[in-house]
């Protein structure tokens, strides 16, 4: 038996359109086609093969935090992301350095789901 990859992350959102606006405009994710399910939602590309699936009609609270439920996106440089969030007025937790040297920052979507943006530690030669 084999595992090949993490295929997708699914999160439950209250307002699909509001969440789509955030993921398109704040995180700059690419929308991708979604099957015609009987419930509201949207799909976005994460990297080259992974996906983010939004599932609508959330009524339960969201419990997320940087040391709790969240998902992380590896990026090439945090500085342009900080500038982008400042320019469009999105609150974020400023970057910090992990004990292994990785840099990370956090942002919340409209429902309170936490997304980490990080750069890995520099490779040692």
pLDDT digit string (tens) for the chain, length 125 residues: 998 888 999 999 999 999 999 999 999 999 999 999 999 999 999 988 999 999 999 999 898 888 889 999 999 999 999 999 999 999 999 999 999 999 999 999 999 999 999 999 985 54
Domains and CATH numbers, the chain: 8-119 (3.10.180.10)
Asked if 13 and 62 count as a contact pair (C-beta separation under 8 A), the reply is no
> Which of 122, 118, 119 is closest to 107 using CA atoms?
118
Q: For position 71, what pLDDT does the model report?
A: 95
pLDDT score at 123: 59
Query: What global pTM score does this model have?
Result: 0.92
Q: Are strands 50-55 and 8-12 parallel, antiparallel or unpaired?
A: parallel
- Residue 93: which of 85, 11, 21, 74 has the closest Cα? 85
């Amino acid at each position: 038996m084999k595992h090949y990859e993490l295929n997708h992350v699914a999160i439950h959102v209250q307002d699909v359109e509001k969440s789509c606006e955030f993921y398109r405009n704040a995180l700059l994710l690419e929308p991708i086609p979604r099957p015609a399910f009987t419930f509201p939602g949207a799909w976005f590309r994460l990297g080259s093969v992974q996906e983010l699936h939004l599932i609508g009609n959330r009524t339960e609270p969201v419990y997320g935090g940087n040391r709790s439920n969240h998902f992380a996106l590896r990026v090439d440089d945090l500085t342009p992301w900080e500038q982008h969030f400042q320019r469009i007025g999105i609150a974020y937790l400023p970057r910090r350095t992990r004990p292994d040297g990785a840099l990370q920052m956090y942002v919340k979507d409209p429902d309170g789901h936490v997304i980490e943006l990080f750069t890995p530690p520099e490779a040692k030669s």
